[in-house]
Amino acid sequence: MQLRFPYPDVSARHVAGVDEVGRGPLAGDVVAAAVILDPRRPLTSLNDSKKLSERQRERAFQDIVEGAVCYALGRANAAEIDAINILQASLLAMSRAVAALPLQPGFVYVDGLYCPRWAYTSAAIVKGDSKVDCIAAASIIAKVTRDREMQALDARYPGYGFAMHKGYPTAAHLQALQSLGPCEIHRRSFKPVQQVLSSTR
């Protein structure tokens, strides 16, 4: 992928990419990652995380961790998602990820339609994870991180199948939700969870 520069002097600045994963699940955090890549060390394993197999994502994750200038994570939990809605929670997670970078960027590429309200000069790129290398790197870091977290939460909240579906509304997850009811990491503002809660009142 070729990094696209929105103005002539951006190549002299630290450029970050930021992306989030976890907007669609019924449970768990929305997790964002921000990455500043080293232009002297191009990574050939980058692509939109959704287009990579689990093994490819794990390999790319390691390449980014070892080769990037720096990266950081940000998140919004289920309670925050319920309080401010998933779009605003996603923007909050991305803001937190960029703010956590040990080296602050002069420009930020954001995946999607909207940039968070912040002081950074930035550009939103629709489907940026398949167009801009630093966004692709951020999508991989966020995806692998969240998947690992959901696998760990499977042991803490047995019966829901979080290790398998990562909180997404699969048939198995919906069935477990009906049988067990929501746990503390379920998003109560999401319709399938609301319906279960309504039926038990």
Residue 182 CB contacts under 8 Å (≥ 6 apart), including other chains: 27, 188, 193, 196, 197
CATH assignment at residue 131: 3.30.420.10
pLDDT for the residue numbered 50: 82
With a pLDDT cut of 90, the percent of the chain lying above it is 82
- Decide if 154 is inside a domain: yes
- Decide if 187 is inside a domain: yes
Number of domains in the chain: 1
pLDDT at 8 over 50: no
With a pLDDT cut of 70, the percent of the chain lying above it is 93
- Specify the pTM: 0.92
- Decide if 3 is inside a domain: no
Identify the H or E element spanning 153. Answer: helix 133-156
Provide the domain limits for residue 33. Answer: 8-199
pLDDT for the residue numbered 5: 46
pLDDT at 150 over 90: yes
- Decide if 172 is inside a domain: yes
- Decide if 111 is inside a domain: yes
H helical segments located in 33-132: 54-67, 78-84, 86-99
- Decide if 1 is inside a domain: no
